[in-house]
Structure 1
Amino acid sequence: MLLADRGTPRGGPWRQAVDHEVDGEYLRVWERPAHPAHPVHPAHPAHLTHPAQGRLALADQGRAVVLVHGFEESWKDWQALTRYLPADLRLFALDLPWRSGSRHLWADRGASTAWLERALELLPVRPDAVVAHSFGASTQLELLTRRAPGASVPTVLVAPVFRPHDQPVDARFFHEAIGRFRGVLADGLRAQLGPRAEKIPDDIVEAMIGKVRERVEPHGFLQFYVTLGRGPGLALHRIEAPVLLVSGTHDPSAPPSAIDALMASIPDVRLHQDPGLTHFCQLEQPAQVAEHVIAFLKATSPHHYAKEAISA
């Protein structure tokens, strides 16, 4: 049953398609239905509101792409990016238990991979691709190693949280992980505030960050730490899906050693790394991320796409 509508400038309006409770936790799916591709006439460049729209158009209708948000984020954090995606993509944004505002007790009822599998099972169609961010990207990465149903789905991992094998889990790593976790929480709040953050006094922003930490720690940090600890043991060589890594060169959640380890271990992998991308690039640099998502979708399933001219 469709429960609500949210406006969007691309495709149809966002609407809540699934609202499902499991052991006291809610799994929700938001959908942006596909709109048929419309040719762009060179005489009317105003039709291209965003640069990615019109570069690649789907030849068939409604290819399904699933969006998996990160820790202390929500499905809405994908809306900035989806404004740059073609209207003829059928988008599903998952609302998962590690959402913003959670007390993060969900791990008592299953690991993050179990919750993601449950959410994917609620989809009305088999996804053609998955785009996941940060903690959600790490969860999707682990799911790919298990060769579960749908494990061959092309996947974009945006700023994945990963620890290479050469970093021992010791007291130093524990303290560094706490610092990284708190940094991500702070950066995430500022990214979600967007331009509003510049109008809010610094002491108020710091107080807001403190409130988030008070709610999230310690349960949230424990899940973040467990995810980091499992990374080196993942059977990355078993991944059958094509994978694109998108990250910033200076993102502490995916340092160069971590990216190198992923590139060396995943069989079918490609990389876009840029010093201008932040950890929350899907919010802060959405056009650039969308461009690489579209190119990846074209490369992994070229028969779905037809090139269209771009007006100057």
Structure 2
Amino acid sequence: MSGDAVAGGPDLRPVSVERRTDGTGPRVLLLHGLAANDSVWEPALPELPGGLQMWTARLPWRTETITGLGTETDLAGRLAQALESVPGGAEVVVAHSMAANVLLDLLDRELRAGVDAPRKYGLRALVLVSPFYRSRAEQFDWETISYYLNDFHLIMEEGIRAHSGGRVPADLRRAMGERVRERVGPYGWFRFFDLYLRTPALAAGRLALPTLVLAGESDFAAPPGEGVALAGALPDARSLVLPGCGHFPMLDAPGRFAAAVAEFVHTVPGLSPSDGHARPTALELQR
């Protein structure tokens, strides 16, 4: 199912998925974050093992439809729709930023309702990239709210910097970041921050899926310590902080990002792509 266009025009469907590689191995679904779209994965896709069957999703919080985020009633339900749109189910889900939080919210909701969420969606493993997470409600104070509200445009600017490889001048990045912030709007911002505020209530100890939490060393939006803390709260998770990367490690260091994902998939029983790619070492991932 192509996510590029519908009847010759832009794809404005709330959710669509697209197969991106011809691999016959594990099905991997890539989920973009707030005010981005599936183009965020383009630099990393060629770096991933050819044996993987890669899919990308386009979600309601993407650039093209971001103005409707505040009125979207069920973000977790939309993400579930993306999971179910992959034929045979997505065995590995790689979720960036806000998408990681929507995914955790969905799985938490299902588990609390007594549903075996991994079995329902066919999930075998997760990769959470630059997630927002705090373990205690007391960690949210007025300064935190002020930071994420008043400096929200800086996160938008970081996405523009990463997408452009730093080629957009700072003054233009600021103007573009403020424009994206206006398109997200106050209601859209509250949808994001509400997900963040609910992270202390996640029943993280019940989500027993093999999980890799990837963070960027210089991420000022979702500090790497939060990713490390989330990995510590999950029963079968490990964290990896990539040096020299910000909130978008798949853009800042696509080769190292892809190597980390491939190395992790190789460690999950039954998910190793059979394309002859050698597993990178931990030292290689840090370079």
1:225 is displaced (CA, Å) by: 0.9
Decide whether the 8 Å contact of 2:14 with 2:78 is kept in 1: no
- Going from structure 1 to structure 2, the CA distance change for 1:2 and 1:251 (only over 3 Å counts) comes to closer
Q: Distance in 2 between matches of 1:124 and 1:211?
A: 37
1:31 is displaced (CA, Å) by: 1.1
Deviation larger for 85-94 or 108-117 = 108-117
The answer to whether 1:138 aligns with 2:101 is yes
1:237-283 CA-to-partner distances (Å, cap 9, x unmatched) read 11021110110233233335523431332000011113322111111
Partner of 1:189: 160
Q: Distance in 2 between matches of 1:79 and 1:96?
A: 16
Choose from 168, 172, 176 the match for 1:208. Answer: 176
Number of residue pairs matched? 267
Q: Which amino acid aligns with 2:124?
A: V
- Going from structure 1 to structure 2, the CA distance change for 1:267 and 1:180 (only over 3 Å counts) comes to farther
TM alignment of 1:203-282, pairs within 5 A: 203-255=171-223, 257-282=225-250
Q: Distance in 1 between matches of 2:237 and 2:277?
A: 29
Instruction: State the SS of the aligned residue for 1:80.
Output: coil
- Going from structure 1 to structure 2, the CA distance change for 1:304 and 1:274 (only over 3 Å counts) comes to closer
The answer to whether 1:76 aligns with 2:39 is yes
Q: Distance in 1 between matches of 2:17 and 2:104?
A: 20
Q: Distance in 1 between matches of 2:193 and 2:19?
A: 31
Instruction: State the SS of the aligned residue for 2:213.
Output: strand
1:215 is displaced (CA, Å) by: 1.6
Q: Counting helix residues as a fraction of each chain, which structure ranks higher?
A: 2
Q: Distance in 2 between matches of 1:296 and 1:244?
A: 7
Q: Which amino acid aligns with 1:100?
A: T
Instruction: State the SS of the aligned residue for 1:273.
Output: strand
**TM-score, normalised with respect to structure 1:** 0.76
Give the share of equivalent positions with the same residue, in percent.
Answer: 30
1:38-73 CA-to-partner distances (Å, cap 9, x unmatched) read xxxxxxxxxxxxxxxxxxxxxxx3321000000011
The answer to whether 1:117 aligns with 2:88 is no
1:292-312 CA-to-partner distances (Å, cap 9, x unmatched) read 1001111013563458476xx
Q: Distance in 2 between matches of 1:255 and 1:294?
A: 24
Deviation larger for 118-127 or 61-70 = 118-127
**TM-score, normalised with respect to structure 2:** 0.82
Q: Which amino acid aligns with 1:297?
A: V
Choose from 121, 142, 161 the match for 2:132. Answer: 161
Decide whether the 8 Å contact of 1:180 with 1:253 is kept in 2: no
Decide whether the 8 Å contact of 1:32 with 1:91 is kept in 2: yes
Q: Which amino acid aligns with 2:261?
A: V
- Going from structure 1 to structure 2, the CA distance change for 1:3 and 1:161 (only over 3 Å counts) comes to closer
Q: Distance in 2 between matches of 1:260 and 1:105?
A: 32
Q: Counting strand residues as a fraction of each chain, which structure ranks higher?
A: 1
1:164 is displaced (CA, Å) by: 3.0
Instruction: State the SS of the aligned residue for 2:19.
Output: strand
- Going from structure 1 to structure 2, the CA distance change for 1:137 and 1:298 (only over 3 Å counts) comes to same
- Going from structure 1 to structure 2, the CA distance change for 1:256 and 1:109 (only over 3 Å counts) comes to closer
- Going from structure 1 to structure 2, the CA distance change for 1:196 and 1:276 (only over 3 Å counts) comes to closer
Decide whether the 8 Å contact of 1:69 with 1:95 is kept in 2: yes
Unaligned ranges ≥5, structure 1: 5-14, 36-60
1:161 is displaced (CA, Å) by: 1.7
Unaligned ranges ≥5, structure 2: 112-116, 279-287
Partner of 2:281: none
Q: Distance in 2 between matches of 1:231 and 1:118?
A: 22
Q: Which amino acid aligns with 2:184?
A: V
- Compute the RMSD of aligned alpha carbons: 2.7
Decide whether the 8 Å contact of 1:29 with 1:94 is kept in 2: yes
- Going from structure 1 to structure 2, the CA distance change for 1:275 and 1:219 (only over 3 Å counts) comes to same
Q: Distance in 2 between matches of 1:264 and 1:307?
A: 32
